[in-house]
Structure 1
Amino acid sequence: MSASPRLTPPVARPSGEAAALRVHVIARAWSELGEAVAPLSNGSGRPLARTVKLILEPLVIRPVQNPHLAGAALTEDAAIELAGRIAAAGDDLAATGEWFGVLKRARRARGITDGNPQERYFQRCFELARTEGRPVPGAATTEAIADETVAEIAQAGGESVLARVRDLLIDEDASAAFVDRLAAAWSLRAGERSAPIDPARVSAALDACGARDAASDFDALRTERAGTAAGAELAERGVARLLGLTEHETPPLPRLGATASKRELPWPFDRSIYERLFAALSGGAPAEIGLDAEDVLADEIARSAAPWELATEQSRVVMLLGAEASHALEPTALLRPTNAHRMLRDRWDREAYVRRVRRLPAGATGVPENVESDIRTVRQGYLRRLWVRLHGRELRGQVTNAAELWDTLDGILRSVIMDQRHRLKTALGRDLEGAA
């Protein structure tokens, strides 16, 4: 029985090129920095995963600007350059670790418990290391900088909003009132009817993407409330599930909730009210959202009962257009004749790993199973990501208009592809390390 193809490079290399595993180069260069970077290291003395993700990759190695340093296997020259970059940043990295300890103490003093400190502070600590140098233990200036930084990150991270929201949700009397408000909002869901959607108008808006001003067709769809009409169809059995927005046959009445985890968030329509706010605000909330937790909760409850579970007609129209345009990502679907369909399909088809998965039977592609599954169901993943983007923009008071339509639709696909490439690269790195 023949072995399944693997995503590994050929053994033969061009003359003069000695390949080195990138992960090994980073580990060796890091070990040379010694105890000075212990706060940023794991028990084995290697950089923490978040150190690599938040500091080394974007701030030291910079693979976007230096693509020759991005591969899982590096040439000898590239390996030397990468190690040199880490060594040159040694003083900044040592100061980063020291600032991290100072900021954690300031965090404890303020009683902040939300979020992971590494996620919150690593990049800011590196910035402080570059601008302030090493912190002076016990110095008033150091303590003031740390307290101000922690307070700023707490506000920007939405911690104040989410903490107040959680306090309301765990308060027995307050949560009972919100349960009643939620039930009342959902009882009115089917009350409003819209005019039928004009397919020609939808096609015209998508055909205008990237070619000419799409404002007239987009605005006409908004005026005709086409997004609302399309959202009403999601109540029909199986429709929202087919789009990847819920795992249920029909969108369920959400729970209020009071806890959330980024790694275990349900599909959009299956999230609790708190999970929806957490997903959008835990990574950063602008000051203009305000700190009135009761208003934030009331708005989210109303949003959950609205068509597409979005508040504005512009957002609903974008979901309608995204649902239509994303048919281009289905391998067996006939390509619709609009510019948006063609451009999305062209971008998707350019990816070699996508063509491989489409060409070979399941399990024989050499692509990790979870990535292969995401490729075969990419339309659902695309629409989930589009909904999350629009929901987050609404919470920030940002409306997606006609001028931003194509950038939004195309940007979501780019985001999907970049995520899949990263996961493939990680898997390839493991394969190479295991074979070394």
Structure 2
Amino acid sequence: MPLPSQPTGARRPRAMVIDGAWRALGPGLESLSGPGGAPLTRTVKLIVLPLILRPTLHPELAADFLAPEPAARLDALIRESGTRLVATAQWFTLLKRTRRALGVVAGNPQDLYFQRCFELAAEHGEPGAVASAGALARAVVEDVADADGGRTVDALKRYLADTAQHAGLEVELGIAWEGRLLTPTADTAAAVALAGEVLEACGGAEGPRNSPAYTSMVEAGLGELLGRALWTHVSGVWERNDLPAHLGLTERELPPRPQVGRSASTATLPAPLDRTLFERLFVVLQSSARREELLTVPELVGREVGRSCAPLGLHDETLRVAVLLGGQLAVGLDPLGIGESAPGRTTAHRAVNSRWRREASVLRARRMTVSPRPDPDGGVLDALAQDLRTPWTAYMRRLWVRLHGRDVRDAPLADAASAWAVLDGVARSVMMDHRARVRSALRTLTASAPPPAAVAEAAESRSA
């Protein structure tokens, strides 16, 4: 089936081309697809891009928007892989069944098995044609489980379940927390001013420039300064008295002393600075595709005791400075364009806000914000619009999680360019997440809406 007709020379989003080619493959891909039939995000990230399209070998396919010829090439590559993708889906189903039978629960199966299933499909075809398919699946599941070296949520749970271990860690946390304020705090105004200089250097169209201000911030320990300020009743850090200094990193007025904890759930995780040791490491272990690169569970826990009581809950000063930069960026995020005349706008603010305001979901939210009429959708979209009125909370929480993951892996941010890559990446991630939530809400509302005929009948009955 050819690609849909399009004007000569028109460029199409690569994601749209992938989606169309994927759907054209037909049935058999359910375990690699979402409810609507589109490929899962992890399918694209782990299989389609690196194993089928291979942008490093086909740089013309690396762009976000493709001209007709590269789009046709991309479409052809996916269609040529159709048989292998169906076999991949079957191997994934078999591996998940084997995983359940072996009682393996750690990690996300998609992260762990997608690429291994593609390899099995390339080597053996469909599992139904392989006599030893069950044994192969068991070997893969056991191999992946062994590769993490016991760096799993289950191992963390067992380690912290020991009563003596738990009590000892509580004592260590108490000692570390009592010593956190030995260094005096100072005024944060200079720190915020330098942060503005760095953001001004980073957001230009020509790309981020490495600002000397960033090095100065790290050398002066200004990220640590901000963290220590949050342990006091400081206010007005961001030149806005209507915002808490922590910008949603804690639900309390001041960050509480960390606890050890014994369980965690992704659906109910508290704000970053309110999390227990277990919750902090739970996120790291759950999200790590390469757990073998992490320290062992006892080492992770030992280091997290000190980290959780450190300024901003981070050890590395470059990462703490990134929190300060992120805060300065976050307080100027204005996707709805409400505060155009607010002070402190930098090149970085203008770049991020401009990108966000082009989103269709944001344009609708902006109309809802200025409309005197109540939300006709029962409040669902109004709640999403409210998120755009206070975007700093979602931004700061996601930024902290990303920086915490880097801290656990000893991955500092060497310069302003690398810091900006993280800051801008988080902004894009928050924007994409909001777009997905709006689409999901619209699908739900559309599915639950009465058909037009029923609406017409109801109107006629009312008029009668």
TM range (shorter): 0.7 to 0.9
CA contact (8 A) 2:272 2:397 kept: yes
| Contact in 1 for aligned 2:107/2:286 (Cα 8 Å) | yes
Taking the TM superposition and a 5 Å limit, the aligned residue runs for 1:35-50 are 40=31
* Residues 103, 147 of structure 1: 8 Å contact kept: no
Partner of 1:53: 40
In structure 2, relative to structure 1, the CA distance for the partners of 1:131 and 1:283 (3 Å cut) is farther
- 2:201 aligns to what? 208
**Deviation for aligned residue 1:52:** 4.8
Amino acid in the other structure paired with 1:303:
R
Q: What do residues 224-245 of structure 1 show as CA deviations (whole Å, max 9, x unaligned)?
A: 1111111112123486675011
**Which residue of structure 2 lines up, in the alignment, with residue 15 of structure 1?**
none
Structure 1 unaligned blocks of 5 or more:
1-24, 69-81
Answering whether residue 433 of structure 2 is matched by residue 419 of structure 1, we say yes
Aligned to 2:158: 167
**Which amino acid is the alignment partner of residue 290 of structure 1?**
L
Q: Are residue 410 (structure 1) and residue 410 (structure 2) matched?
A: no
Q: Structure 1 length normalisation: TM-score?
A: 0.75
Distance 1:117 1:237, change over 3 A: same
Q: Secondary structure at the match of 1:208?
A: helix
Aligned counterpart, 2:407: 394
How far does residue 381 in structure 1 lie from its aligned partner after superposition? 1.0
Q: What pairs with 1:84-123 in structure 2 (closer than 5 Å)?
A: 91-104=83-96, 106-107=98-99, 111-115=103-107, 117=109, 120-122=112-114
Moved more, 255-264 or 415-424: 255-264
Task: Name whichever of 381-390 and 253-262 sits farther off.
Answer: 253-262
Paired with 2:80 and 2:193, the residues of 1 have a C-alpha distance of 59
Query: Do the aligned residues in 1 keep the contact of 2:332 with 2:345 (CA within 8 Å)?
Result: no
Aligned-residue RMSD, C-alpha: 4.1
Instruction: Give me the whole-angstrom Cα distance separating, in 1, the residues matched to 2:344 and 2:169.
Output: 44
C-alpha separation between the residues in 1 aligned to 2:312 and 2:359? 31
What residue is the counterpart of 1:364 in the other structure?
Answer: 375
- The one-letter amino acid of 1:164's match is A
CA deviation string 1:131-180 (max 9, x = no partner): 4312355528x735652455336645x86243332221001111111111
CA contact (8 A) 2:147 2:292 kept: yes
Contact 2:106-2:152 at 8 Å conserved across structures = no
Q: SS state of the match for residue 329, structure 1?
A: coil
Q: CA deviation at 1:399?
A: 0.7
* Alignment pair present for 1:189 and 2:180: yes
Q: Which runs of 5+ in 2 are unaligned?
A: 1-19, 54-61, 67-74, 236-243, 452-464
- 1:195 deviates by 5.0
Aligned residues of 2:256 and 2:274 also touching (Cα < 8 A): yes
* Counterpart-to-counterpart distance in 2, 1:126 and 1:132: 10
Shift of 1:378: 0.5
The CA distance in 1 between the partners of 2:37 and 2:248, in whole Å, is 30
1:223 partner amino acid: E
Pick one of 351, 361, 376 that aligns with 2:359.
351
Moved more, 262-271 or 204-213: 204-213
Deviation at 1:278, TM superposition (A): 1.3
Letter in 1 for 2:126: R
**What amino acid does structure 1 have at the position aligned with 2:368?**
L
Asked if the contact 1:55/1:123 (under 8 Å) is kept, the reply is no
CA distance in 2, matches of 1:49, 1:273: 38
Look up the SS of the partner of 1:160 in the other structure: coil
**1:193·1:229 contact (CA, 8 Å) conserved in 2?**
no
- 1:296 and 2:333 matched: no
Distance in 2 (CA, whole Å) between partners of 1:190 and 1:365 is 51
Preserved CA contact (<8 Å) 2:369 2:385: no
Q: 2 CA distance for matches of 1:297 and 1:51?
A: 40
Structure 2 CA distance for aligned equivalents of residues 274 and 50 of structure 1: 36
- Return the offset for 1:265: 1.7
- Residues 131, 216 of structure 1: CA spacing in aligned structure 2 closer, same or farther, 3 A cutoff? farther
Q: Distance in 2 between matches of 1:353 and 1:109?
A: 43
Check the 8 A contact 2:249/2:397 in 1, yes or no: yes
Does structure 2 conserve the Cα–Cα contact (< 8 Å) formed by 1:100 and 1:121?
A: yes
- What is the CA-CA distance between 1:433 and the residue it aligns to? 4.3
Distance 2:440 2:78 in 1: 20
Counterpart code for 1:298: G
Q: Deviations over 1:246-296 (max 9, x none)?
A: 1122111222122222222221112221111111221214433232x2221
Contact 1:96-1:125 within 8 A present in 2 as well: yes
- Quickly say closer, same or farther: Cα 1:139–1:295, change in 2 above 3 A: same
Structure 2 distance, partners of 1:67, 1:221, is 38
Shift in alpha-carbon separation, 1:324–1:66, aligned structure 2, 3 A: closer
Counterpart contact for 2:272–2:401, Cα < 8 Å? yes
TM-score scaled by structure 2?
Answer: 0.71
Higher mean C-alpha displacement, 50-59 vs 170-179: 50-59
